A and B are shown apart, each in its own frame.
Chain A
Amino acid sequence: MATALRIAVLRHIRIPVQALEGFRPASASWNLFRGQNRSLSSHGDEHLEREEVVERVLAVVKSFPKLDPSKVAADSHFQKDLGLDSLDGVEIVMALEEEFKLEIPDKEADKIDSCSVAIEYIFNHPMSG
């Protein structure tokens, strides 16, 4: 009985539905991602600019205590130009790894022996940040 009554009542109720045109701002600013497609993954969607990589690599190298900061240039060789030994080079590469949140395999890290190689490696690494 109650069920039949309920169904009969619901059949006669009408709720007017209409779109609130004024409610949604028509300006483009409501959608931050308008016209852009955001990647589904956090892997490799932002890349560092080359200038930023150069600047940060040189800042790390200049802060190394055993060398003269004024001699550091983008093409300096750690041992030939800056007068460091091979273990200092290892320390600089480790500092660069920490600066750019990288994990460089040992054999590849061993080949980074100058600022230009380091800049090239870090700029081309998809995970450097």
Chain B
Amino acid sequence: MSSSTLGYLARRAAQKERVRILYRRALKNTLDWAVHRHLFYCDADELRAKFDANKHVEDLDTIDRLINEAEASYEKWQHPDPYIVPWAPAGSKFTRNPAPPQGVEIVYNYGKEESD
């Protein structure tokens, strides 16, 4: 396999990864904007249609340009207060109630197990 083919494949793989991650972020962003689940389904279908519209583009530079445009649009429409799972970084429960050090535990009958 020639080096140009390898370069082509590497560039295609990088583009595919960029598209997957962009789609994932955009889908999450759509869910943040939709206040109800049934609204989210319509918005998600629209988003998917936008991605599918350029599914068969072959030219590498055109693909790069399309991805750059889509990423710019994603950046522009990012939700200011996205939903974050509570325990995750920036979530409402992040570092609250963290795991105690090893060996610290509650003993419920206060050391009187023998006398019961």
Q: Is B truly associated with A? A: yes
Chain A: residues with CB nearer than 8 A to chain B? 26, 28, 31, 33-44, 86-87, 89-91, 93-94, 101-103, 106-107, 109-110, 127
Stretch of B4-12, B56-64, B95-103 at the chain-chain interface: B95-103
**Contact A38-B85, Cβ < 8 Å, known A43-B97, A87-B20, A106-B24:** no
* B20 contacts across to A, CB distance below 8 A: 86-87, 89-90, 110
Q: Indicate if the CB atoms of A39 and B51 lie closer than 8 Å.
A: no
* B87 contacts across to A, CB distance below 8 A: 43, 103, 127
- Nearest chain-B residue to A101 (Cβ)? B85
Q: Is B25 an interface residue (CB 8 A)?
A: yes
Q: Indicate if the CB atoms of B106 and A106 lie closer than 8 Å.
A: no
CB 8 Å contact bits of B11-26 with A (1 = contact, 0 = none): 0000011011101110
Total A-B residue contacts, Cβ distance less than 8 Å: 74
Q: Indicate if the CB atoms of A31 and B84 lie closer than 8 Å.
A: no
Q: Which of B19, B100, B116 contacts A40 (CB 8 A)?
A: B100
Q: Taking the nearest CB of chain A, how far is it from the CB of B111, in angstroms?
A: 12
- Nearest chain-A residue to B48 (Cβ)? A87
CB 8 Å contact bits of B48-90 with A (1 = contact, 0 = none): 1001100000000000000000000000000000001101100
Q: How far is the CA of A34 from the CA of B110 in the complex (A)?
A: 11
Q: Indicate if the CB atoms of A37 and B51 lie closer than 8 Å.
A: no
Q: How far is the CA of A37 from the CA of B102 in the complex (A)?
A: 13
**Contact A33-B108, Cβ < 8 Å, known A87-B20, A90-B24:** yes
* B108 contacts across to A, CB distance below 8 A: 31, 33-34, 36-38
Q: Taking the nearest CB of chain B, how far is it from the CB of A20, in angstroms?
A: 16
* B52 contacts across to A, CB distance below 8 A: 87
Which has the most chain B C-beta neighbours within 10 Å: A34, A37, A87? A87
Q: Taking the nearest CB of chain A, how far is it from the CB of B68, in angstroms?
A: 18
Q: Is B105 an interface residue (CB 8 A)?
A: yes
Q: How far is the CA of A33 from the CA of B91 in the complex (A)?
A: 31
